Amino acid sequence: MRAVIQEGLGDYTPVFLSDIPRLFSSGQLPLDVALIQVTPPDERGMVSLGVSVDVVKSAAENASLVIAQINPRMPRSNDVAVVGTLPEAHGEDILAIGRYYLDPATNRAEVAFVVHDDWQGRGIGSFLLAHLIKIARRQGIRGFTAEVLRENKAMQAVFHASECKVKSRLAGNVYSFELDFE
C-alpha cells in the first residue's frame, strides 16, 4: 500500500469512522459510485442495509451512482432509529434518538425515545414519534408498543396525543402502551 501511495496512484486519509458520513455529505470526500450490499427484497419490495449502517447509508445518499448487490446472507435489520442532531463547530451534537424494533411474530414494534434534558418539553418526542409512525406504516407495521414509567407524564402525553388508537395499562410502576395505526 505504501508503494502505491508513494507513486501517487493511491491516497490515504486517516479518519474516525464516525467522521466519514460528514465527509461524504459535505463534499470533502466526493463519491462517484457506491457499491453496497443489501438484503433480498421483502414482500413489500423493501431491502435492508442489514447491520452495515455505519457509513453505507451516507455513501448511498451522496454517491452519483449506487450499485446495490443483493446478498442472500445479509441479515435483515428489524429496527429503525431516527437521530435528532444540532450542527456544532466540532461536528454534530445528538439531541434525541427515537427508535423501534420490530417483532415479526406480532408485526408490532417496540418504540423508545431519549431526549437530552436541555431539549425536553419542546415537542421533539412528538416529532420523532410522528416520523417513526410514518416509516413504520410504510413498512406495513400494525402498531407500536412501549413501556413508560408511571412518573414519566411527558412521555405518556406524547403517546396519548398521537394520531393512533392508544391503549394503556398500569402494572406496578410501569404503563404498557399499545398504539394501533389503523
5 bridge partner residues? none
CATH classification of the domain holding 118: 3.40.630.30
174 bridge partner residues? 149, 171
**In the prediction, which pLDDT does 67 show?**
94
For residues 87 and 66, state if they share a domain: no
C-beta separation of 86 from 93 below 8 A:
yes
Task: Give the tens place of pLDDT for each residue, 57-110.
Answer: 888 888 999 999 999 998 877 788 888 888 776 667 788 999 999 998 999 999
45-59 CB burial, b ≥16 within 10 A, e <16: eebbbbebeebbebb
CATH classification of the domain holding 47: 3.40.1080.10
Give the three-class secondary structure for 2.
helix
56 alpha carbon, distance to own chain's centre: 13
Q: Structurally, how many domains does the chain consist of?
A: 2
d(CA 37, CA 48): 9
- Mark which of 75, 101, 120 sits at the end of a domain: 75
pLDDT band at 165 (very low <50, low <70, confident <90, very high): very high
Long-range contacts of 52-57 (CB under 8 A, 24+ apart): 53/77, 54/17, 54/20, 55/17, 55/20, 55/21, 55/24, 57/21
Question: What distances in angstroms separate CA 83 from CA 4, 7, 26, 132, one per listed residue?
Answer: 39, 42, 18, 11
- Mark which of 44, 75, 106 sits at the end of a domain: 75
Q: What angle do CA 32, 35, 40 make, to 5 degrees?
A: 140
Domain residues for the domain of 31 are: 1-75
Long-range contacts of 161-164 (CB under 8 A, 24+ apart): 161/126, 162/126, 162/129, 162/130, 162/133, 163/130, 163/133, 164/133
Helices 153-160 & 124-138, crossing angle to 10 degrees? Answer: 40
For residues 69 and 2, state if they share a domain: yes
* Mean pLDDT estimate for the chain: 87
pLDDT at 52 over 70: no
For residues 131 and 66, state if they share a domain: no
For residues 89 and 176, state if they share a domain: yes
